[in-house]
Structures are given as C-alpha cells and as structure tokens.
Structure 1
Amino acid sequence: MHGLALSAGPRTDLRIALIAETLGDAREVMIDGASGIARIARRLRPEVEISRRRIVWPNGAMAQIFSSEDPESLRGPQFHYAWCDELAKWKHAEETFDMLQFALRLGERPRQLVTTTPRAVPLLKRLIGDAETRVTRLSTADNRDNLAPGFIAALERRYGGTRLGRQELGGELIEDREDGLWRRDRLEALTVRLIEPLRRIVVAVDPPAGSGPASVCGIVVAGLMDNGRAAVLADASVEGRSPADWARAVVHAYRRFEADRVVAEVNQGGDMVAATLKSIEANLPVTMVRATRGKYLRAEPVAALYEQGRVVHAARFAELEDQMCDFGPDGLSSGRSPDRLDALVWALTALMLEGTGEPRIRGV
C-alpha cells in the first residue's frame, strides 16, 4: 500500500481502506507491525493520525482504518484500493465485505488485497473460487529467513501432518471434517447482530491442565434469551496465562457482561479452581462442574441444539469455530485439548440442558 501511495504521483487524492478484525489489529499489525505500512516506509513516511483513524502521505494519499466489528462505518467513504487483513477471522465478515464493495468506486480499476490464514469460511471460499481472484499461497517455511532459528522445526515436530499444521504452516484451506459435529456454513447462518433480551448469562471456564505459552484457558460467555434460544456472546479465552491471570480474565468477562454465574470445570484442578477465582473476586458466584462422560458425548447434545436452531452467535468467533468444525469422535485432529469448545459446551449445558443428568453441579 505504501508503494501504491507513492506511485500515485507528487500530488494525489488516492484513497485506501485498511480493514482488520479490530481497530487495534489494524494499528498493531497493518500500520505498526513488523511488515506494517509505517515500518516499511523508507522514504516519504506517512503520518499516522490515529485519533482520526487514518494515515496520510506527503503527496496527499490517504488510508482510512476500519474494523469488521462495525460494518456500517464503511457507508459513505469511497476508495480506489482496499487491504483486508485476516478476513477469515472477521467478526462480521459478510456484512463488512459487502459494504466495502459498495465503497470501492474510485478510479478506473478499483482493487482489493486480502491477506489471511486460510480458514474454510464461506466468504473466503467464494473469493478463492471467483475467476477474477488471483490467489497467492505462502507457507511459513517461505518466511524462514525472518523467523527465529529452530522455530519452524519446532512447529513441524508438533503439528506436522495435522489439519492445524496444514492450515497454519502450509497455508492450505482445510475443509470441515466429515465426522465433525458442526459445519461452518451452518454457523455462518446462525450468526446474528441483534440479540433478543437476555434473562440469564453465564461465563463458562475450562481451566488449562498445565501452564506455559501453549496453554489455553477456555472462557465462553453465553446467555439465554426471552425467546428460549441461547446466544453465544463472546469467546474470551486466553493463552499462556498464569492461574491468577486467567482468573482475572474470567472475572473481567463476568463483570463486562453482568453475568449471573460462572460455571467452572474442576476435573483438572478440583476446589483449587474455585479458590483461584474467588481470590480475585471473593463474592463471585461459581458453579463447579465435573465431567462424567467423554468430551464427544458431552458435545453431542449441544451440537443438537445448533441443529435445531436453538443457538445463535452474536459475532464470528474464529478460534472457537475452528475447534467446533474440527471436533470429531477422536477429538481435534491436532490432538490438542478443545479448550474453547469445552467452555462452550459447559455454558450451553448450564443454560439449556441442566437437569438431564449431565453435568454434576455443585454451587459455591
């Protein structure tokens, strides 16, 4: 984009749209990141006017910053070019992309660049299948000169040959598992922007079995609407955090959504899980749940709720949906723990399935 701005001439009214999942991502990755516009500009560096959500080059070219969280913000502006980063994890992908198409109306040949990890979301699949789309694929190995020594080898040892490795390392577009409990197109259809009034909200937490950079604490917020359906409100999961830190993330989600209760799995940590949470918020209402059946058997009735149209998502939750669509009878294809999915199952079980014999619940 920097090259496009400079090639437009000494004076220009060139307009560019920069769109990321969030405004923070646009700033941290697209502008200030290692390969961001401001970092690679060796001459005629643009001025970043973050309060106005734009960057301006000395020749008058301008790029405006947008977020997939607010598709309506694309109404009104118009552009010659657009750069869409990590489109496959945009929160409101279809609506944001549609609004962008109406805004690309300047110049003789408006164009857009999409850079993304290739998740098999319907929008990305349509773009790849479009005859007018030019597709370039790069693997992590293609970027080895810019990565730490041993990084690729370590990832290959852990993820080589797995679906996750093929997607994240090889840049392959991996389709849903045939034996998976969920399908991406179905999840897409169940994503809504307007949520009915909620009469109960829970925050479910699946604590990590260990610690370290790769550990993930699954945290999912869901609510029960007045119409009897459930809405998944947020995937607030955190990675590589200490017990105190993930407990703070749980309490933050509880306060942010004004939840009624926290539901915490205690198979891994027992009463220490509740104690850790209450060390952050002494009066936190915690319901401890203990799994008595395997993950797949627990997930099946929740998947049935989706099939019946009784669950909606308030946004796209890329990492959570990746686990949902990659979860089969033998778990995730990578062999890792489905932490985010576990939290989802506990949340929806608490809201929709309590009293059916699973799980065993004890309030503290």
Structure 2
Amino acid sequence: MNDDRIVKLTRKDIENARVRQAPDLDRIVIAVDPSVTSTGDDAGIIVAGRCGDHGYILADLTLQGSAFTWAKAAVTAFDQYKADRIIAEANNGGDVIEAVIRQVDPNVPITLVHTSRGKLTRAEPIAALYEQGRIHHVGSFPALEDEMCLWLPGDPSPNRMDALVWALTELMLGPQPIDWVKVIGE
C-alpha cells in the first residue's frame, strides 16, 4: 500500500502521547493558520506549551468565521492561557493578519511566520518529536488527530495540523533559552 500521508503518525502514537494534565509550563503560544475568507477554510488555532524538552497540546480552538472572529478567538486564548505570544502564518495576508489581531489587542506579542518549505518538510521534525515521546496531548482532540493521521496531499488544507506545526516549531525547534547552571563550589 502506498502511504502518501504527510505526517506518518498512527492513532497509537497519539494515544501514547496523551496525558491528563500538563506540568507547569515554561512557555505557551497560540498558533494561528488564518483563513482569509469567512466562508472558506477553517482558521486553525492551537494552544501549545513547553516544559523543558517536552511539548504539550492544550487546546484546539479551530473555527470558521471572519478574520475578526478568529483574531478575537486567538487573543481570547492568549489571555485565558496566559500565553507568551501569538504565532500566525502570514503567507495569505501578510500585514493584514497582524493588523486584524492588533484590532482586537494592539499590545499582544505577535510573530508572523512565512512558509518557504512544503508541508512535509515542515512537519517531519514535529513527527520525529512525537516518535521520541516528547509531545503530549492534554486530553483528546478528535478533529486535529484525524488530520494528523489521515491527511493526504490534495485533501483540503489541514488547518489544525498546520497551526500545530507552527506552535511546536516555535516552542521546540526555535532558539531555546539558556538554562544557567550554578557551578558547585562557587
């Protein structure tokens, strides 16, 4: 059987990643794969956090609606989860994406990310983190998990999965803070 799935995760992989609650987290982000029309694709919105070298998926808030609707949902999640930053894909809208979020909250920290590589290239390092047991789902996210296990190139855009990849790339693959170690004897 030819398996063309982008992220080759199984239900068992995800079930093994499931936990009841997250530990105290070092950092939390809200990742948005925005929709540019209110009747088009869903806007993927994922809440994720990091504790040490482990990542945690906290919520899938994906919805369909206008740009203002998803921006409001992202900022509400930012406040509710006491997040550090909103990460938003800017390929379809650029400065408009940031402007819409700033209409809701002009002071929220935003990082705009741009796709320069294909979905497979972006998702492979995240799949490896799952395989290493370093990513955990706090609860169950059926629609997200369906995308992760079933999505094939040519299917409708995997908005939830795209947002998850952006969140975990920011948390787990980007520059990490240095942990200062006290030298014994000083």
Report the TM-score, using the length of structure 2 for normalisation.
0.88
Alignment of 1:42-81 (within 5 A): none
Contact 2:55 2:134 in 1 (8 A): yes
1:209 deviates by: 4.0
Alignment of 1:90-109 (within 5 A): none
Question: For 2:143 and 2:60, how far apart are their aligned partners in 1?
Answer: 8
Counterpart selection for 2:41 from 195, 205, 215: 215
Amino acid at match of 1:300: E
Q: Find out whether 1:237 has 2:39 as its counterpart.
A: no
Q: Find out whether 1:185 has 2:9 as its counterpart.
A: no
Higher relative contact order (CA 8 A, sep 6+): 2
Question: For 2:110 and 2:92, how far apart are their aligned partners in 1?
Answer: 16
Aligned to 1:116: none
The ranges of structure 1 where at least 4 consecutive aligned residues each deviate by more than 2 angstroms after the TM superposition are 177-180
Contact 2:37 2:67 in 1 (8 A): no
Aligned to 2:143: 319
Aligned to 2:124: 300
Amino acid at match of 1:285: P
Amino acid at match of 1:202: V
Amino acid at match of 1:220: I
1:314 deviates by: 0.2
Alignment of 1:245-264 (within 5 A): 245-264=69-88
1:309 deviates by: 0.6
> What SS class does the counterpart of residue 279 from structure 1 fall into?
helix
Amino acid at match of 1:204: A
Question: For 2:21 and 2:139, how far apart are their aligned partners in 1?
Answer: 10
Question: For 2:164 and 2:131, how far apart are their aligned partners in 1?
Answer: 15
Contact 2:36 2:66 in 1 (8 A): no
Alignment of 1:77-226 (within 5 A): 178-180=3-5, 181-212=8-39, 214-225=40-51
Work out which of the two has the higher radius of gyration on C-alpha atoms and give 1 or 2: 1
Structure 1 unmatched ranges of 5 or more: 1-176, 356-364
> What SS class does the counterpart of residue 198 from structure 1 fall into?
coil
Q: Deviations over 1:320-343 (max 9, x none)?
A: 001000134x25xxx201100000
Amino acid at match of 2:54: R
Question: For 2:21 and 2:35, how far apart are their aligned partners in 1?
Answer: 32
Q: Deviations over 1:107-126 (max 9, x none)?
A: xxxxxxxxxxxxxxxxxxxx
Q: Deviations over 1:173-222 (max 9, x none)?
A: xxxx944321111101110003111010000000014331x520000000
Amino acid at match of 1:273: I
Question: For 2:107 and 2:36, how far apart are their aligned partners in 1?
Answer: 25
> What SS class does the counterpart of residue 282 from structure 1 fall into?
coil
Q: Find out whether 1:341 has 2:168 as its counterpart.
A: no
1:295 deviates by: 1.1
Amino acid at match of 1:338: P
Question: For 1:304 and 1:209, how far apart are their aligned partners in 2?
Answer: 31
Aligned-residue CA RMSD (Å): 1.6
Counterpart selection for 1:269 from 70, 80, 93: 93
Amino acid at match of 1:259: A
Report the TM-score, using the length of structure 1 for normalisation.
0.46
Aligned to 1:286: 110
Structure 2 unmatched ranges of 5 or more: 176-186
Counterpart selection for 1:351 from 171, 174, 177: 171
